[in-house]
Amino acid sequence: MLATIKHEKLNCWIQEVAELCQPDSIYWCDGTKKEYDSMMSLMIESGMAIPLSKRANSFLFRSDTSDVARVEDQTYISTLTQDEAGPTNNWIDPAELKKIMTDLYTGCMKGRTLYVIPFSMGPIGSPISKIGIELTDSPYVVCNMHIMTRVGTKVLEVLGTDGEYIPCVHSIGAPLAEGQKDASWPCAPIEKKYISHFPQENLIWSFGSGYGGNALLGKKCLALRIASAMAKREGWMAEHMLILRLTNPEGRRFHIAAAFPSACGKTNLAMLKPMIEGWKCECIGDDIAWMKIGTDGRLYAINPEAGFFGVAPGTSYDSNPSAMDSLNKNCIFTNCALTDDGDIWWEGFDGETPAHAIDWKGNDWTPESKSSAAHPNARFTAPASQCPVICPDWEDPNGVPIDIFVFGGRRASVVPLVNEAYDWNHGVFLGSTAASETTAANIGEVGNLRRDPFAMKPFCGYNMGEYFQHWLDMGNKLGEKAPRMFYVNWFRKSPDGKWLWPGFGDNVRVLKWMCERVEGKIDAIETPIGLLPKKENLDLNGLNISNDDIEELLRIDTEAWRAELSDIEKYFQQFGSHLPQPLYAQLENLRNRFK
């Protein structure tokens, strides 16, 4: 525990929050292993944490059934006017929202400790990094923040006596009366969960949820919603993107940043195991990229996180061996199943299905059970440093230069395997119109198609039309040094419902084509939607795929695209005068190319 530091603004703010929330005590986190272990001991004693005998220093948690994913319907961007938040965000007037939240916060930490978590998003001291201070009453949050961010005294040293920080307040919303037994997963009822952002103040207030991005405020709340608004004001980019380094057999490095909606393959691509001999992939980040223009005019990216908060179901040695090898120790698992021999399990896990397990709700489970053993959005929290393919430069404070942007989503039809944008503005059009079938990572109907521009729909901290303009502006600043832009769809199916592309490690074949396009080694085919590969330029050596399937993967269905044009036009209309004119021009160009 640290004594309070000589940062008057910080100390005053903490005191104000403490007076409002009324915790029994205040604890300053120092980021040490001793602190982490003591927090886990507290949670083991309370029954919240279950030690896993098969994995060193690893623990399983089971959340309340109402607290299993981001609560997008109760996530708010609270700007002075609704117009500033835009049509894709939930909005409440700041004064009204603060009144709601203040009422909820009053006495909400009674019987609990207020933990002060000083954390750095990005390497401590990097010119691209930002400092946050999260106040929380959840030791589970403290331990996850230890893994996901850089926590501790070094952060406070950089902050000094008057440094800038992003204030983040979080409460599970479950005060304890004297002598009251705590819940195994304390949280507020669903109707009292609020995830509130005040971008004009760089302020985050979260109440009622202890799960994931609702509670780990450095993640989506700071690193995307607040950071995106900061980035627009300050002239940089905060994006929902993985970052990887791909090295070809000649030793040339390519840095790729790719945007996919949650549970659509970001982590798998970030830790790609190339199925082409001589190509090497190294992971820099699996979820978020912060990017600034360097002194040489190129765009440089850092991963602001220090860990992986990945979707567990479907992760296996077949789909992502590097992720699996990252999970052998020092991990937190949430809403996975518990096997009889003290290990975790989830649907899609390697090996035989256990004959018996305890499911994510704490009930007996067998393969005959009607419900799944792990929640579809079960998660692992793992240190990035444990990843066997982590890039040696993943913590370079200056970042890595981005060569390629990739956008994508989960589409069973219409969208081909890959196409390249004609230019930057066309690439922004591709990113702005990205669509994906929804997944279990967000509460709502699974399988519906929704537009998810740049995979940022749930995460943009201001009017999305202005966000599109910011992308156009960044392209103007970068000029000829701008990264090339591509769109991919690993999830296309045949008319009879069969997956057409093997995905996973074979996705390197598509990335190789992109790299060779950047190098100017190969031509492409001009189509109405962009530049597509010539079949002979896709490296399919060793891949058992029929010519018919390749034809279907690259086929442009004219009638389906004409229907898509109408849908895009309708989608654009919601942005009104905020939609940049160049995007309307791109839509008209696309329409004309289909005439």
Calpha distance 29→32 (Å, rounded):
8
Q: Which candidate, 408, 406, 413, places its Cα nearest to that of 489? A: 408
- Rounded-to-10 torsion of CA 490, 227, 236, 457: 40
Q: CA-CA distance, 175 to 506, in Å (whole number)?
A: 50
Q: How far is CA 465 from CA 79, 152, 483, in A?
A: 15, 38, 22
Cβ count within 10 A of residue 164 = 9
Residue with tokens 């008209």: 588
Nearest Cα residue to 534 out of 406, 425, 417: 417
- Is 221 one of the annotated active-site residues of the chain? no
End-to-end CA distance of the chain: 69
Residue among 277, 98, 288 nearest 205 (CA): 98
φ/ψ of 36, rounded to 5, equals: -60, -50
Rounded CA-CA distance 505/518 in Å is 21
Find out whether 312 and 374 touch, Cβ atoms under 8 Å: yes
Q: Which member of 143, 168, 221, 264 is catalytic?
A: 264
Give the integer Cα–Cα distance in Å for 149 and 136. 15
Least Cα distance to 174 among 226, 95, 235, 111 occurs for 111
What is the C-alpha separation between 182 and 179, in angstroms, rounded?
A: 9
DSSP 168-225: EEEE-S----TTPPPPSS----GGG-EEEEEGGGTEEEEES--SHHHH-TIIIIIIII
Sequence-distant (≥ 6) Cβ neighbours of residue 105 within 8 angstroms: 17, 20, 21, 169, 171, 205, 207
DSSP 152: S
Q: How far, in Å, are 411, 485, 545, 561 from residue 548 at the CA level?
A: 19, 27, 8, 21
> What angle separates helix 464-478 from helix 424-432, to the nearest 10 degrees?
160
> Is the Cβ–Cβ distance between 322 and 387 less than 8 Å?
yes
Q: How far apart are CA 241 and CA 372, in angstroms?
A: 29
- Give CA–CA dist 254/563, Å, rounded: 36
Rounded CA gap, 249 and 128, in Å? 31
Task: Give the β-pairing of 253-259 and 404-408.
Answer: parallel
- Backbone φ and ψ of 50, nearest 5°: -115, 115
Catalytic residues: 264
